[in-house]
Amino acid sequence: MKIQERYHKVIEWFSTNVPVAETELHYKDPFQLLIAVILSAQCTDKRVNMITPPLFEAFPTPEALAAATPETVYEYIKSVSYPNNKSKHLMGMARTLLTDFNGVIPSDVDELQKLPGVGRKTANVIASVVFNKEAMAVDTHVFRVSNRIGLTDNSKTPLETERTLVKYIPGHLLPIAHHWLILHGRYICVARKPKCLECGIREFCKEFNKTIKK
């Protein structure tokens, strides 16, 4: 199967069967989402959602978070991965947001990456979810699923995966395609033992077809 045909069939299946796909992080405004995405690095959304309500209540604005101390923030997020680093990142993000962006979260991916704790993946999430930009965030799920299905040809880096996905997926579908692939990787195409018999796109999957032909 040629790669263009695989993309067409995968997109068609998801469009029909998963017309709504959204982030599973809980948030009420862009600032809350930015905090949640920073916290979600190498951590589950479920864990992040457990600890963010009191954090959001204590620090509802960039001003409130910027005025805090790392020790104070740590107490709210100590059950997530790398809480010491993330405490510093959250405070640094809030302060940079105030000093460099007048407290307004930028929509540009490059500008977003100037905020502490915000890498390319996080920037792409904010750009696509908050601003509906044509951006593709590549996390571990997207990276794994794309290689397995055959949307990418054994990409070695998230950036390589991102560039390939952006090349073949229509721009207006990139924001939802990001969630299609994440959710598929989270619940069906899981890391250790993918649930191929439950998978609606196995017919178009490079790895599945290679396996059954053995």
Residues catalogued as catalytic: 121, 139
Return the structure tokens found at 127.
């750009």
Q: Would you list the DSSP string of the chain? A: --HHHHHHHHHHHHHHH-S-----S--SSHHHHHHHHHHTTTS-HHHHHHHHHHHHHH--SHHHHHTS-HHHHHHHHTTSSSHHHHHHHHHHHHHHHHHHHTT----SHHHHTTSTT--HHHHHHHHHHTT--S-----HHHHHHHHHHTSSSS-SSHHHHHHHHHHHS-GGGHHHHHHHHHHHHHHTS-SSS--GGG-TTGGG-HHHHHHHT-
43 is in an annotated binding site: no
For residues 52 and 73, is the Cβ–Cβ distance under 8 A? no
62: its two tokens: 């960039």
- The answer to whether the annotation marks 189 as part of a ligand binding site is yes
State the binding site for [4Fe-4S] cluster.
189, 196, 199, 205
